């Protein structure tokens, strides 16, 4: 937005809300924006913590070798043979 557009918005806001309510409105909008920013920051931190925890758990688990060429039926047959 250019300076002229912002000035026009401020003039319209002054006419609509009046000089007494405009500072109150500005404070309210500032508090809402501050609370929103704090909430977004908290969510971002929580997501980063969860990602870090998942990443550490993945590294801590031993890697299991991939069984290639075996179907689920082959695996079931192998398990059945081991159980006998």
Q: How many angstroms separate the CA atoms of 24 and 30, rounded? A: 10
The string over 66-79, giving b where at least 16 C-beta atoms fall within 10 Å of a residue's C-beta and e elsewhere, is eeeeeeeeeeeeee
pLDDT tens, 18-73? 888 988 988 999 999 999 999 999 999 999 999 999 888 888 776 565 555 556 66
Give residue 31's pLDDT: 96
pLDDT tens, 49-61? 999 998 888 887 7
Whether residue 84 has pLDDT greater than 80 = no
């Amino acid at each position: 937005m250019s300076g002229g557009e912002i000035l026009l918005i401020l003039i319209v806001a002054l006419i609509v809300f009046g000089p007494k309510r405009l500072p109150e409105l500005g404070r309210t909008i500032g508090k809402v924006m501050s609370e929103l920013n704090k909430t977004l920051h908290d969510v971002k931190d929580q997501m980063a913590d969860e990602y870090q925890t998942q990443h550490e758990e993945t590294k801590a688990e031993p890697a299991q070798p991939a069984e290639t060429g075996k179907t689920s039926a082959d695996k079931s047959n192998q398990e059945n043979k081991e159980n006998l």
